[in-house]
Amino acid sequence: MASCNYLFLLVFIIIIINSFHLTIQQHTISVSFPLTSAPLSPNSKSSKLFLSSLSPSSKSNQSQLHRKTAAAASSPPFNYNYKSSFKYSMALIVSLPIGTPPQAQQMVLDTGSQLSWIQCHRKSPKKPPPTTSFDPSRSSTFSLLPCTHPVCKPRIPDFTLPTTCDQNRLCHYSYFYADGTLAEGNLVRERFTFPNSRITPPLILGCTAESDEAEGILGMNLGRLSFISQAKVPKFSYCVPFRQGNYKINPTTGSFYLGQNPNSPTFRYVDLLSFPQSQSRGMPNFDPLAYTVGMVGIKIGGKKLNISPATFRPDAGGSGQTMIDSGTQYTFLVDAAYAKVREEVVRLVGPKLKKGYAYGGGALDMCFDGNAVEIGRLIGDIAFEFEKGVQILINKERILDDVGGGVRCVGIGRSESLGVASNIIGNFHQQNLWVEFDVVNRRVGFGVADCSRSV
C-alpha cells in the first residue's frame, strides 16, 4: 500500500466494498517488528507504480468525512509493545502473524491507504497459489462477511461507492491500480496473533484471490477501517535503512514497532494538521485520512528556496497537502515547489543533466550519467523544513538514487505528472530516520538513526 519500476503509485479505486464490523478489544499490546526493505515481486503492482495512496478521485469518494482515528477515543487501546524487522528496497515489507494458528503474511506497510488485504489461497487446477498466500481452511478464526452485514450497505462514511454481493451473497471488492492491475476478492474478518498470547479482535480485511501479487497491503492511515484504527494501535514507528549496492537483489533490513518505541525520547515532533469536516468535504483533492503535516520550506545546499509556505498547505480545493507516506517511494512536489527545486538544481549542475531523459514515465527528470559523488557535492544537502523547527535532512551523499543503466536521479518528482495534487514525502527520503506516527496525540516524530543496525 509502487516497471516504471519499483516506484509506488498505488492508485486504489474501490469499486465495491461491503460491510465492515468493527470490534475493539479492551486490552493493550506492545508489539515491535523488524522491517526489511526489499524489492517487491516481479509482477507486483507496487513495483510498477509510484504512489500507494489513492487517486484524488478515489480519495474524495472514500474519505468524505474527516475523522480522527478511533484509537484516540472511547475504549483504551491495545497496549502494543511489539518489535519486528522488515525488508526494504522499494517498499517496506513486514511479515505479520495472521489467523489461528498464525500464518506469516508478507504485507507492504502503507501509511497512505486504509483497507488492508492479504493474498488468499485458492485451490485451482490452473495454477498453484503463491507460496506466501493465506490458507483460510487452516484458521479457526477466519470468517467471510455476508451481504447482510450492516457495513455492507452503500454510502457508509468512508466508502461512498455502492456495494454489491457476489453470487454467493458475500461482500465483494475490486481494486484497480494505475497500471490496470486488478486485485479483488471478499471482505473477511480475521485476527492477528502476536507473541505472548496477544491477539487482536477480528479485523476487517480483504481476502484477495484474483491478483498476481505476492504481497498484501497493511493499510495504516487514519481511516476507521485501517489496521491501526481497528486494532486500536496508539502509535507505531519504523526505521528505514539506507539502501546500498544492488538493493533489488539484496534488500536491507529495518525495524518496526507497534506501540512504544524506546528511542522516542530523542524524536522531534510535528503536529498533524486538522481540518473541520465541513471544510474537507469541499476539497476534492484533499485526503483527510492522510498524515498531513505543516511543511514550511525547502533548502538546497543551505540556501532556502523562494517558495511560499502556502504551497505546502491545502488550498480551497485541497491541492498542496503535504503528507508522510511510507508506501510511496520517492518525494513528489506540486508544480510551484518542484519548479523552484529544479531551477536550483539546473543552476548548480545544469550542464551535467542527462538531456531529454526522464525516469518512470516522466516523473523524475533530474537525472545524471556522471560521477554521483561529484554531482552530490555540487548540489549539496537537501532539507525539508516543517513547523516547530523540525526538518528532514538528506545529506549530499544520498540525494541521488540509482535507477539502473548507470543513471542516477534526484529522488524528487513533479506530483502533477502522476495525476495527484499533493506534496508527498516518500520512503526514499525517510532513510536512516525513525518515523513515528503518534495517533493518539496526532503528531509525527522523526529521529536520526543508523537503521541498518539493531535499533
Q: How far apart are CA 151 and CA 159, in angstroms?
A: 10
Closest by CA to 75, choosing from 6, 36, 23, 115, is 23
337 Cβ contact list (under 8 Å, min separation 6) = 298, 307, 311, 312, 423
Q: How far apart are CA 117 and CA 174, in angstroms?
A: 11
Give the number of C-alpha atoms closer than 13 A to the C-alpha of residue 447, restricted to the C-beta side.
Answer: 18
Q: CB–CB of 214/119 below 8 Å?
A: yes
**Cα 139 versus chain centre, distance:** 28
The residue annotated as part of the active site, out of 110, 158, 365, 401, is 110
Number of neighbouring beta carbons within 10 Å of residue 27: 16
- C-alpha grid cell, residue 400: 541521488
Closest by CA to 368, choosing from 425, 414, 411, is 411
The residue annotated as part of the active site, out of 158, 325, 365, 438, is 325
Looking only at the bridges linking them, the beta strands covering 203-208 and 433-438 are: unpaired
Q: CB–CB of 237/427 below 8 Å?
A: no
3-class secondary structure, 147:
coil
Number of neighbouring beta carbons within 10 Å of residue 144: 15
128 Cβ contact list (under 8 Å, min separation 6) = none
Q: How far apart are CA 354 and CA 365, in angstroms?
A: 8
287 as an active site residue: the answer is no
b/e 178-187 (16+ beta carbons within 10 angstroms → b): beebebbbbb
Q: How far apart are CA 317 and CA 422, in angstroms?
A: 11
Work out whether the CA dihedral 5, 7, 13, 17 comes out positive or negative.
positive
Residue type, 265: P
Q: How far apart are CA 40 and CA 55, in angstroms?
A: 21
335 as an active site residue: the answer is no
Instruction: Count the residues in the chain.
Output: 455
- Residue 173, beta-bridge partner list: 185
Q: What angle do CA 410, 257, 23 make, to 5 degrees?
A: 115
Residues belonging to the active site: 110, 325
